Structure 1
Amino acid sequence: MNTNILYFLTFLIFIVFSSCSKGSKKTDLVSSPKKSMIIDNIFEISKEDFNKHDLDLIHLENYSLGKSVSSTGLIEVPPNGKAVVTAQIGGFVKNTPLLVGDKVKKGQFLMSIENIEFLEIQQQYLESKERLEYLKSEFERQKELYQEKITSEKSYLRSQSDYKSVEAMYLGLRKKLELLNIDPELVEKGLLSSEATIFSPISGDVTHINVASGSPVSPSDVIMEIVSTDHLHLELRVFEKDVLKLNVGQGVEFTIPESNSKIFKGEIHLIGKSIGKDRTVKVHVHIEEPYEAGFIPGMFVQAKIILEDKASVAIDKSAIIKKENQYYLLKLNQESIDRLEFKLIEIELGDEMDGVQLVRIPEGSNLDQKFLSGAGYLIE
Structure 2
Amino acid sequence: MKKSIIFLSLATSILLFSCKKDETENKEEKVTTEVNAKEEANANVKEVELNEAQYSASKIQLGQILQKNLSDVVRINGTTELPAQSQADVSSFLSGTITNINVNLGDYVKKGQTIATIDSPEYIQLQEEYIISKNTLEYLELEFKRQQTLRAENVNSEKTFQKTKSDLNIERARYQSLSNRLSLVNSSPSSISKSLRIVSPISGNIATIPVKIGTNIMAGQSLFTIVDNSQIHLDLLVYEKDMPYIKVGQKVSFTFTNIDKSEVTATIFSINKSFEPGTKTVLVHANIDKVPETLIPGLYVNALVHIGEKTVDALPNEAIVKADGREFIFVLEDAHEEEGGKSYHFQRIEVKTGVSELGYTQVTILQQVPKDSQIVLSGAYYIQSHLIKTEGGGGHSH
User: What is the deviation of 1:321?
Assistant: 12
Contact 2:83 2:231 in 1 (8 A): yes
In the alignment, what sits opposite 1:267? 267
More moved, 149-158 vs 361-370:
361-370
What's the secondary structure of 1:107's corresponding residue? coil
Structure-2 change in CA distance of 1:79 and 1:216 (3 Å): same
Structure-2 change in CA distance of 1:139 and 1:335 (3 Å): same
Output one character per residue of 1:303-326: Cα deviation in whole Å (capped at 9) or x when no partner: 22122342223452359999xxxx
Please report the TM-score for the alignment, with normalisation by the length of structure 1. Answer: 0.74
Partners of 1:43 and 1:94 in 2: CA distance = 74
* Higher percent of residues as helix: 2
Partners of 1:145 and 1:117 in 2: CA distance = 41
Letter in 1 for 2:147: Q
Letter in 2 for 1:220: G
Output one character per residue of 1:212-251: Cα deviation in whole Å (capped at 9) or x when no partner: 1111222221111111122221121212221221122222
Partners of 2:97 and 2:211 in 1: CA distance = 10
RMSD value, Cα = 3.6
In the alignment, what sits opposite 2:89? 84
Describe how 1:114-129 pairs up with structure 2 within 5 A. Answer: 114-129=119-134
More moved, 142-151 vs 84-93:
142-151
In the alignment, what sits opposite 1:47? 51
Letter in 2 for 1:47: N
More moved, 298-307 vs 370-379:
370-379
Out of 316, 321, 325, the position equivalent to 1:317 is 321
Output one character per residue of 1:171-204: Cα deviation in whole Å (capped at 9) or x when no partner: 222332333233322x2xxxx2222111111111
Partners of 1:74 and 1:352 in 2: CA distance = 24
Name the % identity. Answer: 26
Matched positions, count: 329
User: What is the deviation of 1:146?
Assistant: 2.5
Unaligned runs of 5+ in 2: 1-41, 388-392
Contact 1:331 1:345 in 2 (8 A): no
Letter in 1 for 2:164: S
In the alignment, what sits opposite 2:148? 143
Contact 1:44 1:340 in 2 (8 A): no
User: What is the deviation of 1:261?
Assistant: 2.3
Structure-2 change in CA distance of 1:364 and 1:168 (3 Å): farther
Structure-2 change in CA distance of 1:166 and 1:334 (3 Å): same
Partners of 2:123 and 2:59 in 1: CA distance = 78
In the alignment, what sits opposite 2:287? 286
What's the secondary structure of 1:69's corresponding residue? strand
Structure-2 change in CA distance of 1:91 and 1:329 (3 Å): closer
In the alignment, what sits opposite 1:255? 255
Partners of 2:201 and 2:239 in 1: CA distance = 37
Structure-2 change in CA distance of 1:213 and 1:246 (3 Å): same
Partners of 1:295 and 1:97 in 2: CA distance = 25
Structure-2 change in CA distance of 1:148 and 1:340 (3 Å): same
Letter in 1 for 2:352: L
User: What is the deviation of 1:46?
Assistant: 7.2
Out of 371, 390, 395, the position equivalent to 1:365 is 371
User: What is the deviation of 1:357?
Assistant: 7.5
Unaligned runs of 5+ in 1: 1-37
Describe how 1:239-254 pairs up with structure 2 within 5 A. Answer: 239-254=239-254
User: What is the deviation of 1:267?
Assistant: 1.7
Describe how 1:73-112 pairs up with structure 2 within 5 A. Answer: 73-112=78-117
What's the secondary structure of 1:248's corresponding residue? coil
